[in-house]
Amino acid sequence: MLLMENATKKIELLDKFMANEKKSRLWTTINIGIFCLLGLFIFFLAYELNKTNAKYKVINEQLKKTQDSLAVALDQLDSYNGSLRQDSISLTKRVGNYDSLKSVLDTVVMLIKNQSLHVSDNIRSMIAIETPARPRDPVYTVFVQCMPDFEKLMPAIVKDLRDKKYKVPKWETVREISFNPVIKYFYDEDHDEAKKIAAFVNSSNNFFHHNPVHIQKFNLKSPLHQIEIWVGEYQQKDLQQIIQQSTIDEKKHQRN
């Protein structure tokens, strides 16, 4: 009887052990399944993140190319705007010269000789005595423009040009635009003189050793024997600066 009870107890213990073992295996399987699902989910997130990063990388590269193209376009626009402003300043430079004055006097003399203009006999007799024209060297007028940081170079350049018998008005400081050194002339007859002035300016200061002035012909209506010197250093503007400058220009235009 005692043996039967011991056997029964052992069988019950064995059944409990087997049940616990089954539960343990079940939970182990469930945990493994959960970890596998988490691993798959993490892998999926990593894949999506990598795909998104690749997409953003392409977008960023396209954006950078667009920004670079815009920067180039804005730089060209700023350069063209500066050139137009320079041309506008050049068009305000008007000086009398011997050739234009002689043309007017020749017209008056022709009218008097053709009796289209009534004058006294004394004046007519004086005009009738023609004297041969004497050759004379042209007098060159040189206008000088500079950016504010280069005003310190102007007194020496202007003084030496005047010593060389050039007619040089007071230099003009240009604040609204930036530009590289250049010498402008407007007629083929003035090319050689512009070249001489460029050589003189380039030897006047160490700045021009690294930033030499170049001569350039412009097709603007200007008196003969008029030359312009522009001294500065071009400074590229960013988009914000260009927008601000455009706003300022628009306000000035509205006031005028």
Domain boundaries, the chain: 98-134
Strands (E), 71-157: 141-146
Minimal CA–CA distance to 87: which of 191, 199, 198, 186? 186
Give CB contacts under 8 A, 24+ apart, made by 160-165: 160/200, 160/204, 161/197, 161/200, 164/200, 165/139
Mean pLDDT of the chain: 78
**Separation CA 223–CA 5 (nearest Å):** 134
What pLDDT sits at residue 78?
67
Tell me what the mean pLDDT of segment 46-50 comes to.
83
Tell me what the mean pLDDT of segment 138-158 comes to.
94
Sole residue written with tokens 């073992």: 21
What pLDDT sits at residue 20?
75
Tell me what the mean pLDDT of segment 191-220 comes to.
93
Helix residue ranges per DSSP H, the chain: 2-91, 98-113, 121-128, 154-163, 191-202, 207-210, 239-255
What pLDDT sits at residue 190?
95
pLDDT higher than threshold 50 for residue 183: yes
pLDDT higher than threshold 50 for residue 98: no
More confident position, 31 or 161: 161
**Separation CA 192–CA 215 (nearest Å):** 10
More confident position, 110 or 197: 197
Give the chain's radius of gyration (CA, Å).
44
**Separation CA 172–CA 41 (nearest Å):** 72
Tens-place pLDDT, residues 103-122: 555 555 555 555 555 555 55
Q: Which helix (H) or strand (E) holds 251?
A: helix 239-255
| In contact, 141 and 167? CB cutoff 8 Å | yes
Strand partners, 231: 146
Q: Give residue 165's region: left, alpha or beta (phi > 0; psi -120 to 50).
A: left
Minimal CA–CA distance to 217: which of 178, 181, 188? 188
Tens-place pLDDT, residues 160-172: 999 999 999 999 9
Share of the chain above pLDDT 90, in %: 32
More confident position, 41 or 7: 41
- Whether the pTM exceeds 0.75: the reply is no
